[in-house]
Amino acid sequence: MAPDDGRPGATLAIMLIAAAVTLVVWVAMALVTLYSYRHVFRIEEIGMPRDGDPPLPRLSVVVAARNEEYGVKQALTSLLDLDYPDYEVIFVDDRSDDRTGDIADRLSAGNDRLKVIHVEELPDGWFGKNHASWRGARSARGDVLLFTDGDVVFGREAVMRGVRHLLRNGRDHLAVLPTLAMRSPMLQACVIVFHWGAHVTARLWQVRDPGSTASFGVGAYNLFRADSYRAIGGHRQVALRPDEDYQLGRLVKLTGHRSDLVRAESSVRCEWYSSVRDLVRGMEKNLFAFRDYRISAVFVQTVGLLWTGIAPAVLTVVLAPVDMAAAALFAASTMVAWVFAICIARVSRFRWWTGLLLPVASAVIAWTWWRSMIVTLRGRLAWGGPAVPLSELRAARLRPMDDRRSA
């Protein structure tokens, strides 16, 4: 009889320990994220002119776009209105089957600053956007290259500030996190989960540290010194990487170059996805690749999301009738999580109450990770071209020795 009486007590003790650990983890994640936000500076603040600044070099903006007819006019108009003394815009229409190319052609007819390239065929061994970006870079005449997407809207000084920061601090690469315009509350909650994951796991505040392995890249705003871009091999080195923006940032650090990351709260804006369904489908190409196609990493990521994002709220209710101490600790974890998510919502200019959707959003993102892995393992990953088998994707992974040879 004694062993049976002891089992419930042991179970409750384990739950109490798990609840205490969960609370400690949430407090630690909130503090790390707060530290990260305070040390990933805003481009609106850091790019102000100073005496002694070097003259601004010629700039080439490379825009790779495919089927962006609903946002491309506003994006290109913002680029053609930049406050920058000497620059060109190279728009690469990557085999669009809508009006994207026509809109760009009409805009270029009235502005010599804009050059339009139409890609008619995708060569073997490339993803579409990567090839389009590479084509644009080959035509660029600037000393500084900015790679961006066909739906990103820039403030007039957003690029000038970035170039000033790049030169002033001796960087080879600068990535800028844009403001994401999300329509639905659930989309906003999903973005909060991504913010939480990026700041906690990617150590964003260490990207500027040349002694750290932390790295990052952003498709909306990846700025390079042209000679540094060519020295690391450019987009050819990431031809079959669906997360090419991040991998370029990683390549910068692996080859001994200097990188930095800042955020834009008002001067760079884009709509990431228009619905949760689009987000789940759109991220199928990125997430498994982001973990270098490691199945174990997806398991760890899923367990982390379920444990921290969902379990505290569920176990608060489940344990309340049988173990008030553990339930109280899980409730405290839930409150920390919600306060944390609400703070991120406010910084991201989302509706504050979208942070309360954190448990549901965590479940959506956990499924997104699994869907990305399943699609890739089944050889169905396609991005602007035919599906690519997993063996080819894994062969395209960056390796430190390869990276040193590319420098």
Over 60: is that where the pLDDT of 406 sits? no
Amino acid 1: pLDDT: 41
Lowest-pLDDT range of 82-86, 246-250, 396-400: 396-400
Q: Which residue has the higher pLDDT, 9 or 184?
A: 184
Query: Which of 61, 22, 10 lies closest to 224 in space, CA to CA?
Result: 61
What is the DSSP code string of 29-80?
HHHHHHHHHHHS-BHHHHT---TTPPPPPPEEEEEEESS-TTTHHHHHHHHH
State the pTM of this model. Answer: 0.92
What confidence category does residue 7 fall into, taking pLDDT thresholds of 50, 70 and 90?
A: low
Mean pLDDT, residues 106-114? 94
Supply the mean pLDDT for the chain: 92
Query: What is the Cα–Cα distance from 148 to 273, expressed in whole angstroms?
Result: 16
Mean pLDDT, residues 190-201? 88
Mean pLDDT, residues 184-200? 90
Q: Tell me the Ramachandran region of residue 89: left when phi exceeds 0, alpha when psi lies from -120 to 50, beta otherwise.
A: beta
Amino acid 47: pLDDT: 77
Over 60: is that where the pLDDT of 212 sits? yes
Mean pLDDT, residues 377-387? 90
CB neighbourhood size of 400 (10 A): 9
Mean pLDDT, residues 309-334? 94
401, exposed or middle or buried, with CB in 10 Å at 0-12, 13-18, 19+?
exposed
Mean pLDDT, residues 184-197? 91
Query: Which of 43, 299, 27, 332 lies closest to 165 in space, CA to CA?
Result: 43
